[in-house]
Each structure stands twice: as structure tokens, then as C-alpha cells.
């Protein structure tokens, strides 16, 4: 089945130690998104790639970076994780901006910072 796959499902990292989360998709969607979701809150968009074009949300901290080496893969890099960065990180894809076919989400990566 075509899907969005996130690895790992759970990630524990030390305070200040760089960490990378990965997302892959077999849907051949041209847009990929990274959302951050803290406990009992709505998901919040960090950034997205429209094809190779990177779009950063204005309030996304500089500590968060992203890479998209090809259509299928997208990575979220947190350069120096703080305790406040502990959250669920959700990857999503869409064909175009999702105005026609909607969005598909992965299972998420739960990040713990110790």
C-alpha cells in the first residue's frame, strides 16, 4: 500500500545533541510537510517542501532544519534539542497543496529529550 513512513517511532535524545527524524513516502506526492504536535495541542506546521522549494513558517525556530534529497525522502534536523522540543513530529504529504486530494500523514515520531 502507498503510504507515509516515519522512522523511528520513538526517539530519545540528550539535551543539546543533534537528532534527525526521517520520513519517506511511496505516494509520489510532490509536497511534504513537517508538523510538531505537543501534548493535547493541535499539530503546528514547521515547514514544507513544494517539490524542491523550501517554505519555512515564520515562527519556526532556527534550531529546526529540513532536507529533501529526493521526492521520496524528507528529514527533520534538530540542531540542539531543548526540553521544550519534546513532542510528536508528524510528516505529511499532498499532491499539490492538498486542495484537491487532501493530506496523508505518517505514524509520527515521538521525541523525548533527556
Partner 1 sequence: KQEVTQIPAALSVPEGENLVLNCSFTDSAIYNLQWFRQDPGKGLTSLLLIQSSQREQTSGRLNASLDKSSGRSTLYIAASQPGDSATYLCAVPKGSQGNLIFGKGTKLSVKP
Footprint on this chain of partner 1 (rule: CB under 8 A): 6, 31, 33, 35, 40-43, 45, 48, 50, 55, 57, 88, 90, 92, 94, 96-108, 110
DSSP letter assigned to residue 95: S
Closest distance of CB 48 from partner 1, Å: 6
Match 513544494 to its residue by C-alpha cell.
50
C-alpha distances in Å from residue 17, one per residue of 7, 24, 94: 18, 23, 31
Closest CA to 81 of 35, 16, 12: 16
Closest distance of CB 62 from partner 1, Å: 19
Smaller CB separation from partner 1, 16 or 53: 53
Closest distance of CB 16 from partner 1, Å: 25
Amino acid at each position: 500500500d502507498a503510504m507515509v513512513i516515519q522512522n523511528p517511532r520513538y526517539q530519545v535524545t540528550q539535551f543539546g545533541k543533534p537528532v534527525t527524524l526521517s520520513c519517506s513516502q511511496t505516494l509520489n506526492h510532490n509536497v511534504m510537510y513537517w508538523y510538531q504536535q505537543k501534548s493535547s495541542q493541535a499539530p503546528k506546521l514547521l515547514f514544507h517542501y513544494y517539490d524542491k522549494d523550501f517554505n519555512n513558517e515564520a515562527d519556526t525556530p532556527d534550531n529546526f532544519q529540513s532536507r529533501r534529497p529526493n521526492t521520496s525522502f524528507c528529514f527533520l534536523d534538530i540542531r540542539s534539542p531543548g526540553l521544550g522540543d519534546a513532542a510528536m513530529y508528524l510528516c505529511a504529504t499532498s499532491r499539490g497543496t492538498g486542495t484537491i486530494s487532501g493530506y496523508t500523514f505518517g505514524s509520527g515520531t515521538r521525541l523525548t529529550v533527556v
